[in-house]
Amino acid sequence: MEKIGITTTIPVEVIYAAGCIPVDLNNIFITAENPAALVEEAELAGYPRNICAWIKGIYTTVLANREIRRVIAVTQGDCSNTHALMETLHIQGIEIIPFAFPYDRDYDMLKLQIEKLMQVFGVDWEQVAEQKKRLDKVREKVWLLDEKTWRENSVSGFNNHLYQVMCSDFNGNPELFAQEVKAVLEKSTPLPAGDEIRLGYIGVPPIMTDLYEYLEKKGARVVFNEVQRQFTMPFATSDLVEQYRLYTYPYNIFWRLQDIAAEIEKRNLHGIIHYAQSFCYRHIQDLIIRKELKVPVLTLEGDRPVRLDARTKMRIDAFLDILR
Amino acid sequence: MIFGFDLGSRYVKLATLAEDSFNFYRYETIEFYKEFGRKEQDSLVIDFARLGFGETGKIISTGYGRNTVQIQGGQDIPEIKAHVYGARWQTGLEDFTLLDLGGQDSKVVLVRKGRLLDFQTNDKCAASSGRYLENMAAVLGITLEELSKYHEDPIDLSSTCAIFGESEIIGKIIEGHSIASLAAGVNYTIFKRIKPMLSQLLCDKIIFTGGVAHNGALKNIVEKEMQVEVIVPQYPQYNGAIGCCVYGGSLLE
């Protein structure tokens, strides 16, 4: 079965319908033995230092995994650096399949994009609908895992992050992934509500590996992972186009903020950590986020895949102090 | 006796408190760790006898290094908390914006009714810090004290990077600008970098601490540009160390 690289969440039902295996390149990069070395390798190839480390990591990841010959690139709704990433991969012989989330969430435009993707993979709506049913069954389990995180404190913030983020590609094997989630669910036991600070994490998944662990050590608990949760498509709709319209991440910040504000209320969050990747345009949106959200916000910036540095820890400590 | 250590990137500051009276000591960071400290397992053991103290006591520490070194037998507190305690104790104020400019760190903290309400810090760049002023004074061939005198008729420096700033100022020297204008330009650069943080967390009084608070020109610039009163407490550089003692002695409850 052919492996298809993806640069972020796309209508993955189409790939499964074609009998191919989607591979979220971000996940392969960040779980590599030495992700920092992958970033350095891209810099040796000529990538600038002041460019997002995820882009550089993905570049090297694709070249290092020779079984990936085709990559679906989200050219609108994620990151415009992706354009140049695709061009540098193209000259290395990788086939690029562009996919664009329309900025205004237009139904017809989105449907057209999905249909173009279906055409590339030679599948029809019936086959795609069948895969949606298959994947929704797995997603339901992850929704339950998320609920257990904030209602019962029985799933850690890190596991909440991990299993939700994996819903971009279901680790290439939805049924096996579902078994893993089931095992986590079975092991989880509700904890009595303590005096921990309840945090929400918003923005792209963190590039540093020990954020959740550090927060827990300091008496805080992440009970909401915004973008990771969006990867699980937590929407009750049988319409695939509508599902990817309700998905907030690729559209404008105000659409995301509606979702974030509702979850702050529902999950009784004390504060928000807004993660911004160095050199990412989303960092600009921080000023809107700070203005619009009603709870204290700590903005953390991450550059390379390393552990938390002393300054970031100092800022986290001070933030938790404010919330206490 | 209470020992308050502020483990900075440039200096280790120590305040001691005994019978309501403070004493202050300052050590070069590298020298301090070499001469007076040794690592045992995960903590730093301080040779108090060698520092000249016959007795030890309660130890509270804070500062840049506190995530990597924990002083043996001591308690560490978050840096911003220490600075807020210090500023409240030194000024008696409960509502203010704290501006702390240290060797590598810049912090702006909003305090209301004595409580830490919000804060911002520099993140990936130390161009708005004391280290930058030291470098620029060296390039201009003047002392830090001399650099701290000028705030009028500043030249315009635009580099984001502190190191590129050096070559930029060399260009300005060649153009023939006066030392006064060059120094004022350097001081203004610091202000420009902290202005966005200050603007977001501004109230009608700024307490200015950290080693850079000895720079009188910068105090003038902040006052003039932000149109608020700027208060430099008696011991700006020891503010964090004082805060540790204040916390340790429960002097502000």
CB atoms within 10 A of CB B199: 11
Chain B's closest residue to A323, CA to CA, is B117
State which H helix or E strand residue A220 sits in. Answer: strand A220-225
Q: Do B116 and A301 touch (CB under 8 A)?
A: no
Q: Chain A: nearest CA to B52, how far in angstroms?
A: 30
Collapsed DSSP state (helix, strand, coil) of residue A240: helix
Interface contact B113, partner A, CB < 8 A: no
Position A286 confidence tier, pLDDT thresholds 50, 70, 90: very high
Interface contact B132, partner A, CB < 8 A: no
Position B71 confidence tier, pLDDT thresholds 50, 70, 90: confident
Chain A's closest residue to B116, CA to CA, is A322
DSSP H helices, chain A, are 12-17, 25-30, 35-44, 53-64, 81-90, 107-121, 125-147, 157-165, 174-187, 211-217, 226-230, 240-246, 253-267, 286-292, 310-323
User: What is the average pLDDT across B152-171?
Assistant: 85
**What is the side-by-side strand order in the sheet with A197-202?**
A220-225, A197-202, A271-277, A297-302
Predicted local confidence at residue B164, as pLDDT: 80
pLDDT for B64 beyond 70: no
CA–CA gap between residue B162 and residue B132 (Å, rounded): 6
Of A303, A314, A321, the CB nearest to B67: A314
pLDDT digits (tens, 9 = 90+) for B92-144: 999 999 999 988 888 999 999 999 999 988 766 666 688 889 999 999 999 99
Tell me B129's DSSP state: S
Position B63 confidence tier, pLDDT thresholds 50, 70, 90: confident
pLDDT digits (tens, 9 = 90+) for A43-63: 999 999 999 999 999 999 999
pLDDT for B72 beyond 90: no
User: What is the average pLDDT across B48-69?
Assistant: 82
Kindly give the pairing relationship between strand A271-277 and strand A220-225.
unpaired
pLDDT for A324 beyond 90: no
- Considering the entire predicted model, what is its pTM? 0.87
Interface contact B121, partner A, CB < 8 A: yes
B145 class by beta-carbon count within 10 Å (0-12 exposed, 13-18 middle, 19+ buried): exposed
Of A310, A318, A322, the CB nearest to B64: A310
pLDDT for A6 beyond 70: yes
Interface contact B68, partner A, CB < 8 A: yes
Of the listed ranges A163-167, B16-20, B23-27, B127-131, the least confidently predicted one is B127-131
Q: What is the DSSP annotation of B179-246?
A: HHHHHHHHHHHHHHHHHHHHHHT--SEEEEESGGGG-HHHHHHHHHHHTSEEE--S-GGGHHHHHHHH
Q: Do A303 and B124 touch (CB under 8 A)?
A: yes
Q: Give A286's contacts (C-beta < 8 A, 6+ positions apart).
A: A274, A276, A299
Dihedral sign of CA atoms B89, B251, B111, B23 in order: positive
CA–CA gap between residue B84 and residue B70 (Å, rounded): 21
> Do the interacting molecules here have an ipTM over 0.90?
no
The size of chain B, in residues, is: 253
CATH for B2-79+241-249 (2.60.40, 2.30.29, 3.40.1130, 3.30.420): 3.30.420
Predicted local confidence at residue A149, as pLDDT: 96
pLDDT for A270 beyond 60: yes
Predicted local confidence at residue B104, as pLDDT: 81
pLDDT for B69 beyond 90: no
CA–CA gap between residue A260 and residue A231 (Å, rounded): 14
Q: Chain B: nearest CA to A310, how far in angstroms?
A: 6
> Beta partners for A202?
A274
State which H helix or E strand residue A300 sits in. Answer: strand A297-302
Q: Which amino acid is at B217?
A: A
**What is the side-by-side strand order in the sheet with B106-112?**
B115-121, B106-112, B96-101, B205-209, B229-231
Chain B's closest residue to A317, CA to CA, is B78
**Nearest partner of A287 among A278, A276, A277, judged by Cα:** A276
Kindly state the percentage of chain A with pLDDT values over 90: 91
Q: Mutating which of A274, A312, A321 best tests the B interface, going by the most B Cβ atoms within 10 A?
A: A321
pLDDT digits (tens, 9 = 90+) for A232-262: 999 989 999 999 999 999 999 999 999 999 9
Q: Is B123 left (phi over 0), alpha (psi -120 to 50) or beta?
A: alpha
Our measurement of the distance from residue B199's CA atom to the centroid of its chain's CA atoms, rounded to an integer in Å, reads: 19
Quote the crossing angle between the two packed helices B79-91 and A310-323, to the nearest 10°: 60
Dihedral sign of CA atoms B131, B132, B138, B143 in order: negative
